Amino acid sequence: AVGSKVLTTDTMNPSVKKVEYAVRGPIVQRAVEIENELKKGAKKPFSEVIKANIGDAHAMGQQPVTFFRQVLALCSYPELLNSPLFPEDVKSRAGRILQSCGGGSIGAYSASQGIECVRQDVAQYIKQRDGGIPCNPDNIYLSTGASDAIVTILKLLVCGEGRTCTGAMIPIPQYPLYSAALAELGAVQINYYLDEENCWSLNIGELRRALVDARKHCNPRVLCIINPGNPTGQVQSRKCIEDVIRFAAEENLFLMADEVYQDNVYADGCHFHSFKKVLFEMGPQYSNTVELASFHSTSKCYMGECGFRGGYMEVVNMDSDVKAQLTKLVSVRLCPPVPGQALMDLVVNPPKPGEPSHATFMKERTATLRSLAERAKLTEQILNTVPGIHCNPVQGAMYSFPQITIPERAVQEAKEKGQAPDMFYCMKLLDETGICVVPGSGFGQKEGTYHFRMTILPPTDKLKILLQKVKEFHMGFTEQFS
């Protein structure tokens, strides 16, 4: 009818309506409101909002890596190639990237799969990381952050309806990109629960339970792994990865390995093992058959360059006709952002010993990773001093995901407000302290348990104060509702 809207929530795409993304959900909207209130001079028991909801290192004050930014400046404004301000390795690297761009400009489109020399450098990096196991640049696809590539692979895999509809196994707790993408694509989300009692480890029995259950109502085709874990911070053992690969091979599942935190491993005795490496070391029975896509990004690790939206994936054992379809699909969006591709190149091919920028680069990288390890430890320690909070060791990644005890009276009050109890808790924490964290319900958790995700990214001094405030808040909250 004339005058009524074409597009309303009643007439919009119902799959989009089902999408949820807690990391930037209602809690963050409230945080922005409070920030605006503070700007307008409102009186609060705190002077600033601390956004510990998202893994955004630079926003928390981490400084960019000098070498990366120098090269990017020269790529942006090549006149600087003649300036004495920059070391030779910066200049030669910028020159190499520019040479591989159309017309020598990062303003030209690249190949849709990504700039060829960047894909070669990525392949070289993977080969070296994985102890010499070969990597073919044709299997590398650059992407707009890892999210883009993850959604693309899920998109390829989705088909069927009802009992034949593609099911994707995801960890619970999970990073909510997975649930959001599956909702949007109309695929079935199959939850497998990580074992909180055992430091969020992945249990093959639980994988099998979830798969057997799911086979009753859909067609499970893909198994998603996040290692190191987000939001849970565990680092998988080599043994566990072998078990997962064997399981995927037996059950004919496509493996998606989200490895964006591969440099963020802090705990003694923990090491990052790539799925690709373990797969190849298990011998040809596996390395020639198991289909794997693994994902990396410029946004995490020691560089934390989220804003550039750089990333790549490697596809292993992908059917060659499917690869042609994948290449076609990514070509519709023309290409990933070229500055992000340039940055990805620098991440996988940093300064080498003997080059002028090497010492500074190593100093910056080491300082950041050392400090992150310190903050991971600190977070675990302080949170575990609070009665009613239990925090597993933050072995890797950038988050703690403590379990919190919420008194029954608070649970009731939350329910009356139509809120998840941990959302009620986090909203109160935000209102009283200015600290913004994400309720565990946004990631999924065992029925009846409550958590929140908090980044370890605030600078150490600030983090200490923040953890002390969480402690006081939790004790007050418990008292208030007991």
Q: According to CB under 8 A, which residues from 66 to 95 bind its own copies?
A: 69-70, 72-74, 76-77, 80, 83, 85
Among residues 33, 48, 88, 105, which is the contact residue for its own copies, using CB under 8 A?
Answer: 105
SS3 for 247? helix
For the segment 350-409, give every residue that binds its own copies (CB under 8 A). Answer: none
For tokens 């799911």, the residue is 214
Q: Would you call 444 helix, strand, or coil by DSSP?
A: coil
Among 319, 370, 412, 472, binds its own copies (CB under 8 A): 319
* CA 356 distance to own-chain centroid: 32
Question: Shortest Cβ distance from residue 371 to its own copies (Å)?
Answer: 15
Kindly tell me which residue out of 4, 47, 99, 482 binds its own copies, with binding defined by CB under 8 A: 4
| Cα 426 to Cα 438: distance, rounded to the nearest angstrom | 7
| 339 touches its own copies by CB under 8 A | yes
DSSP letter, residue 138: G
CA distance 419 to 406: 13
Give residues with Cβ within 8 angstroms of 202, minimum separation 6.
Answer: 171, 192, 194, 195, 225, 236, 240, 244
Question: Taking CB under 8 A as the criterion, which residues in 175-214 touch its own copies?
Answer: 176-177, 180-181, 184
As measured in angstroms, the least distance from the Cβ of 172 to its own copies is 18
Q: Alpha helices, DSSP H only, in 100-160?
A: 116-129, 145-157
Closer residue to its own copies in complex, CB, 340/421: 340
| Contact stretch for its own copies (CB under 8 A) within 52-60, 264-272, 384-392, 442-450 | 52-60
C-alpha to C-alpha distance for 422 and 196, rounded to whole angstroms: 17
Indicate whether 99 belongs to the interface with its own copies (CB under 8 A). no
Contact 440, 402 (CB under 8 A): no
Q: Minimum Å distance from CB 290 to its own copies?
A: 9
DSSP string, 385-423: TSTTEE-----BTTEE--EE---HHHHHHHHHTT--HHH
Candidate list 87, 114, 145, 228; residue touching its own copies; CB under 8 A: 145
**Do the beta carbons of residue 455 and residue 55 sit within 8 Å?**
yes
Q: Which of 38, 59, 133, 282 binds its own copies (CB under 8 A)?
A: 59
* Among 273-281, 335-343, 382-390, 432-440, the segment contacting its own copies (CB under 8 A): 335-343
Count of residues touching its own copies (by CB under 8 A): 100
Q: What is the Cα Rg of the chain in Å?
A: 23
Binding positions for its own copies, 293-312, rule CB under 8 A: 303-309
In the complex, least distance from residue 7 CB atom to its own copies, rounded to whole angstroms: 5
Among 126, 241, 265, 335, binds its own copies (CB under 8 A): 335
Nearest to 468 by CA among 341, 372, 382, 377: 382
Strand partners, 255: 223, 292
Q: Applying CB under 8 A, does 478 fall inside the site for its own copies? A: no
Q: Is 39 a binder of its own copies (CB under 8 A)? A: no
**Nearer of residues 160 and 407 to its own copies, judged by Cβ:** 160
Burial class (CB in 10 A: 0-12, 13-18, 19+), 446: middle
Decide if residue 155 touches its own copies (CB under 8 A). Answer: yes
Residue 37 in the binding site for its own copies (CB under 8 A): no
The residue behind tokens 């920028």 is 357
Binding segment (CB under 8 A) for its own copies, from list 126-134, 141-149, 393-401, 408-416: 141-149
Report in angstroms how near the CB of residue 114 gets to its own copies at its nearest: 12
Q: How far is the CB of 165 from its own copies (least distance, A)?
A: 12
Nearer to its own copies, 81 or 475 (CB): 81
Judged by CB under 8 A, the residue of 45, 205, 332, 354 near its own copies is 332
User: Interface with its own copies by CB under 8 A: which range of 39-47, 154-162, 359-367, 462-470?
Assistant: 154-162
Residues 378 and 69: their CA atoms lie apart, in Å, by 30
Helix ranges restricted to H, 77-176? 88-99, 116-129, 145-157
Q: Which two tokens stand for residue 369?
A: 């990773």
Subset of 209-248 contacting its own copies (CB under 8 A): 221-222
Beta-carbon count within 10 A of 305 CB: 26
For residue 257, state whether it binds its own copies (rule: CB under 8 A).
no
